[in-house]
Amino acid sequence: MSESTSNTLQYRFDGPEQAPVLILGPSLGTTWHMWDRQVPELMKHWRVFRFDLPGHGGAPAYPAGSVNDLADRLLGTLDALGVQRFGYAGCALGGAIGTELALRHPERVASLALIAASPRFGTADEFRQRGVIVRTNGLDPIARTSPERWFTTGFAAAQPAITEWAVQMVRTTDPGCYIAACEALASFDVRPELGRVGVPTLVLVGSDDQVTGPAEARTLVAGIPDARLAVVPGASHLVPVEQPAAVTDLLVRHFTSAWQPAFDTTSGHMAIAASPVKPVLAAAPPVAPVAEIAAAEQPEALGRPDPYDAGIKVRREVLGDAHVDQAFAQADEFSGDFQEFITRYAWGEIWDRPGLDRRSRSCVTLTALVAGGHLEELAFHTRAALRNGLTPAEIKEVLLHASVYCGVPAANSAFKVAQKVIREETTPQE
């Protein structure tokens, strides 16, 4: 195990030092122990490298807010160890890290396995909402519902010890790091880039996965030029835990056939595997790479890029996709110019300025809306404040402060609106 810093990750090695390195990446809320059942077989062929996400499994709690940041920290750890080229298998968020590595650092990745993965995980709103719940209620609600997301009903009932292990694994994660990882998944979307993944890729999914199931797996296979699909029957999201033997066999077959360096356990030397990768369990037909869409040229004003694109991004991140989509859907010839105006100037110019963080801007916005009596906008900006990191207790303090300067009647109405929104947004979904 290493001494982790803010720029590296907690890790461990298993297997002979001279063997080629195979990395196993964990999913959100898990530790490297999710791979325990695979390691004994894999270490016969490779030097197995496992790592923990920040704040998971006792790792130092330095939050990482993007998948790219996590990939950079992993590469920083590997660079310090002198590991240049490797095979990579990752589950869910761990799979996103692997995809990022294959896209940004193709010279480092020899072969790839994406397990319970997706080019985009649900919607940004879903993960930011999860962050709101964790910030308000802690990780216990997420921990208690993890088994039903991770395992089939039959497995969870038959394996109470593993089910409790899963709950405790989430419960002991650092909340701030969990929220940051949710933000990383919220902003992850590589659908237009899949055609640039240039390494042999196994896409592996449980047949009963309700989180990132066969449909998401087929999207990966359709977009990645050299990809094969493996569907594991009777498994849900955490398929390496639920069906360890099947996953181990699939990984061994993939990495020994799709990656030239292989380790000869008899001689203790690397050998060359000549056979090409073969379809596993279920093969997708060859698909042409997804074309990359070039970004349109941005109009410039006063020598600067048009702030509209930045504005729509910030507006969606703060208010949520559903709210913004509804605003644009309701726009017509009469109101469309106004929607473009506030996107470009309110969100692209003001909200995107670096002088205040988004928490501070939410405080200012809530106070201004109380002063103006704009209760409808106060409702959706209360939701935005929660998404921007304010707790219900902090929102209460903002409204109490506003009551002194904006008047008690205005604050009374504001408290009613905010109380309703906070109850809706912070009640865990059972």
Same domain, 254 and 392: no
Residue 85, number of CB atoms within 10 A of its CB: 13
**Residue at 7: amino acid letter:** N
Contact 13, 86 (CB under 8 A): no
Final residue of a structural domain among 252, 272, 292: 272
Q: Is the pTM of this model over 0.85?
A: no
Residue 408 lies in a domain: yes
Confidence at 158, pLDDT banded by 50, 70, 90: very high
Same domain, 19 and 131: yes
196 exposed, middle or buried (CB, 10 Å; 0-12, 13-18, 19+)?
middle
Helices (H), 234-334: 239-242, 244-257, 308-319, 321-330
In this predicted model, what pLDDT tens digit does every residue of 167-209 receive, in sequence order?
A: 999 999 999 999 999 999 999 999 999 999 999 999 999 999 9
Same domain, 247 and 311: no
Residue 287 lies in a domain: no
Same domain, 242 and 372: no
Residue 319 lies in a domain: yes
Residue 48's φ and ψ, nearest 5 degrees, are: -85, 125
Q: What is the DSSP string of 87-110?
A: EEEEETHHHHHHHHHHHH-TTTEE
Same domain, 136 and 263: yes
Q: What pLDDT does 118 receive?
A: 96
Same domain, 64 and 206: yes
Burial track 67-83 (b if 16+ CB lie within 10 A, e otherwise): bbbbbbbbbebbeeeeb
Give the integer Cα–Cα distance in Å for 229 and 220: 9
Token pair of 414, please? 């504001």
- Please report, for the domain that includes residue 395, its CATH number: 1.20.1290.10
Token pair of 322, please? 């559903």
Same domain, 193 and 305: no
Contact 291, 319 (CB under 8 A): no
- Please report, for the domain that includes residue 214, its CATH number: 3.40.50.1820
User: What is the mean predicted confidence (pLDDT) over 287-315?
Assistant: 58
Same domain, 85 and 176: yes
Same domain, 234 and 333: no
What is the count of structural domains for the chain? 2
Confidence at 274, pLDDT banded by 50, 70, 90: very low
Cα 137 to its chain centre, rounded Å, is: 21
In this predicted model, what pLDDT tens digit does every residue of 33-78 receive, in sequence order?
A: 999 999 999 999 999 999 999 999 999 999 998 999 999 999 999 9
In which domain, by residue range, is 192 found?
11-272
Final residue of a structural domain among 272, 289, 308: 272
